Chain A
Amino acid sequence: MKFDPVALATPFFILTVILEIVLARLEKVDARYEAKDTAVSLTMGLGSTIAGVLIGGATFAASLWVYQHRMFNIPMTAIWAWGAIFLLEDLTYYWFHRMSHERRIWWAAHVNHHSSQHYNLGTALRQTWTGGIAGTWALWLPLSFLGFPPAMVAIEKGISLVYQYWIHTETIRRLPPWFEAVFNTPSHHRVHHARNPRYLDRNYAGILIIWDRLFGTFQPELDEEPCRYGLVKNLATFNILRVAFHEWMAIATDLVREPRHALGWLFGPPGWSPDGSRQTSREIKQAWASRIQEAPKKAA
């Protein structure tokens, strides 16, 4: 029987969304749900599952082909192998996630996960329809090339996805310091979903926050700066097709208008433009830092 952590966790997803809504209704927890926003999040989740099935065969076949040319034979029954795949898959996820924010072609596939201005368990299910097309799944192929069976990689990816579900909530504020130091938590991931300049492009972790600490992208949540969720430019529509494809449409428009800048439009950071008329996250952060520095001078 096939072991699929995400399929097994689906009833848990549904029950916990119900629980969060009911507890918020009873004013036991601080959570906000808006019906249309929730509809978009959950429909994106459903569509992502269908897209995954449609393209999953091809990606799994690719990993099987790579596995046939593997360097080592890593047994699926060894505990050390599960420890190794846990760390290597999580490291792979970090770089996948970072690329998905820092290069526009992959941001186009990932942006819809960030497009809600709410942060609740429903937002966790707002998943991409176009990840398969964007090709980021290829980042996991080296694991099969090393010798990890594709099924083992798929299971670990599923475990990571299920782990990341529960951290999409405002109902849990802070966990014990030792846990916050090592693991990705609701607090760390709220920062990741925030559009405040200070918080942009931070906390890419899947399960272990140590990768962000190691690679210089960690930002703790600050009580004095509450997270404002969503995109730098928020969606002005609940149209599900626009939610799913708006950045792809924007890329296509830019490519048609100025094809000679195709590389920049595709592989530049989101917000890049040849004439500098738009702002990347880095530029937004720099402008914010300048304002912070200038503020005391203006006040004096």
Chain B
Amino acid sequence: MNEAFLIHSGASALAVAALVALAGWARIARKTPRLDETRARALLAEDFPDEILEQVWLASDGAGAIAKSGASALLLMRVGDSYAARQIPWVKAIAAGTRDGEVAFTPGDAAAPRLRLNLATWPPKGLAA
């Protein structure tokens, strides 16, 4: 690797840092108000249009939700100013452990290794088994 390449890469790295700082300063991300049930259902319907949601539990910080659909759990988590959703077996969802006050769901997906939701009580009473 020659000197010019190193200079070019170093300058590019500085430009990246400056642009990220500018994007943060500008505050032009999408607005992400606390999720309510209507919005959570709408977002889940985008990813799982054929699923019928029996019940939805909202994260207490409004940054996600979990829904029961038959033998599946549908997970929704805020990522930046957007959302990611995954489907896992319900039995796996109710067995999820709590870490740092959040329930950590593991879809077994390299693109979504862990989805953490701030759920006040988990698993829900009466649906735990």
Query: Which A positions have Cβ atoms within 8 angstroms of B?
Result: 7, 10, 14, 17-18, 21-22, 24-25, 31-39, 42-43, 45-46, 49-50, 53, 117-118, 122, 228, 230-231, 233-238, 242, 245-247, 249-250, 253, 287-288, 291
Contacts and interface: CB of A to CB of B under 8 A. Distances in A.
Listed residue (B1, B27, B50, B110) with the most chain A CB atoms within 10 angstroms of its CB = B110
A183 to B, nearest CB: 27
A237 B79 contact: yes
Contacts of A45: 16
Interface stretch (B18-26, B65-73, B88-96, B118-126): B18-26
17 contacts: A7-B8, A24-B26, A31-B28, A33-B29, A35-B20, A43-B16, A45-B16, A49-B12, A233-B84, A233-B85, A233-B86, A236-B86, A237-B111, A246-B110, A250-B111, A253-B110, A291-B50
Contact of A238 (B9, B49, B80, B113): B80
Given A18-B22, A35-B20, A53 B30 contact: no
B3 interface: no
B29 A18 contact: no
Contacts of A235: 79, 84, 111-112
Contacts, number: 121
Contacts of A245: 110
B30 A237 contact: no
Given A46-B9, A233-B86, A35 B24 contact: yes
Interface string B33-51: 0000000000000110110
Contacts of A246: 110-111
Contact of B112 (A32, A37, A233, A291): A233
Given A234-B79, A246-B110, 4 more contacts: A24-B28, A236-B109, A236-B115, A245-B110
B52 interface: no
Give chain A's interface secondary structure class: helix
Contacts of A25: 26-28
Give chain B's interface secondary structure class: mixed
Contacts of B26: 21-22, 24-25, 33
Contacts of B79: 117, 234-238
Contacts of A242: 110-111, 113
Contacts of A238: 79-80
Nearest to A18: B22
A250 B46 CA distance: 23
Given A34-B81, A46-B9, A235-B84, A39 B20 contact: yes
B74 interface: no
Given A39-B20, A50-B9, A233-B111, A34 B27 contact: no
B27 A249 contact: no
B128 interface: no
Contacts of B111: 231, 233-237, 242, 246-247, 250
Contact of B80 (A31, A34, A53): A34
A228 B84 CA distance: 13
B104 to A, nearest CB: 12
A237 B5 CA distance: 30
Contacts of A43: 16
B49 A291 contact: yes
A136 B17 CA distance: 31
